[in-house]
Amino acid sequence: AKAAGGHLVTYSAELDERAEAAERLGADLRHSLEDGDFHVVYQPIVDLRDGRTVAVEALVRWTHPVRGFVSPAAFIPVAEDNGLIVELGEWIMRAACRQLADWRRDLGGAAPGYISVNVSARQLSEPGFPAVVAAVLAENGLEPRALLVEVTETAIFGGGVAIEAVEALHAAGVRIALDDFGTGHSSLGLLRTVPVDVLKVDKSFVDEITGSSGRAVIVDALIHVSNGLGLSAVAEGVETAGQADYLRSLGYQYGQGYFFGRPVPDPGFTASLTESRR
């Protein structure tokens, strides 16, 4: 199986190498979960009318023992493939909920109103997932509305167990956001069949505002969809004052992005909240 094409041989060797690299990364993830190499950072979600932080999104960070920072975009898919996302995701959920409880204790009324946590398809398909979420909320003395679960269209597109989990969470009072809205297996029909509370409009559409076309057709359309269905819309990846102004003029109430604040660990986050209170 070699003579015919050096090309094919190289290709399959490359595939092997890639599979091996993913396997190694997966094993490293497992060790890191035991060794405490993960932490969670928090990014503000603000009210565009007054810049007040109304909520925070929890985002996981991994410090690889040798490679240092590895992006979630690189390791989350690996953790999904080898199943570790179930355990890692529960750890993230617990860390985020404990953090919100701590903020409430330390900051009172200045604490963010809720915490937004990303959940992958693999977690939703785990039969006990809604019960785990209920337990984590109870452990931390949080009401279900204190949590917003972010899922992607792709994660729930196939229907089945993942949608059932979303329905169970929603029935328990946990709110649901569709993340990166407009980039997945988009179907507006999904908004009628799945209980959704929040649309997170993807950064790529927000980027159009300052892009060369000078128009932002999709952000404009999506605020109408969102309002028409009685959902709230959060514009993701807001990087400039101009984008924030434009979104506000279209009727967006909430935004998230580097312009308002980067994801930071707890101490920095608490400091920024205390500052904006003054």
Contacting residues toward Mg ion, per CB under 5 A = 118, 150, 179-180, 202, 236
Token representation of residue 85: 């996302």
Comparison of 80 and 180: residue with beta carbon closer to Mg ion: 180
Q: Which of 172, 86, 178, 176 is nearest to 135 (CA)?
A: 172
Comparison of 25 and 238: residue with beta carbon closer to ligand C2E: 238
Do the bridges between strand 53-64 and strand 68-70 make them parallel or antiparallel, or are there none, so unpaired? antiparallel
Question: Which amino acid, 89?
Answer: G
- By a kind-dependent CB cut-off of 5 to 8 A, residue 73 interacts, out of Mg ion, ligand C2E, none, with ligand C2E
Q: Which residues contact 145 (CB under 8 A, 6 or more apart)?
A: 114, 173, 174, 175
Instruction: Compute the distance between CA of residue 237 and CA of residue 116 in angstroms, rounded to an integer.
Output: 15
255 DSSP β-pair partners: 46, 235
Q: What are phi and psi of 230, to 5 degrees?
A: 70, 30
Q: How far is the CB of 38 from Mg ion (least distance, A)?
A: 17
Comparison of 61 and 104: residue with beta carbon closer to ligand C2E: 61
- By a kind-dependent CB cut-off of 5 to 8 A, residue 234 interacts, out of ligand C2E, Mg ion, none, with none
Q: How far is the CB of 5 from ligand C2E (least distance, A)?
A: 37
Q: Which of 118, 122, 58, 117 is nearest to 85 (CA)?
A: 122
Q: How far is the CB of 96 from Mg ion (least distance, A)?
A: 12
Q: Which residue number has the CB closest to ligand C2E?
A: 257
Comparison of 190 and 238: residue with beta carbon closer to ligand C2E: 238
Contact positions vs ligand C2E (CB under 6 A): 43, 59-60, 71-73, 76, 89, 92, 118-120, 150, 179-180, 237-239, 257-258, 263
Comparison of 67 and 192: residue with beta carbon closer to ligand C2E: 67
Place of tokens 């979600």: 45
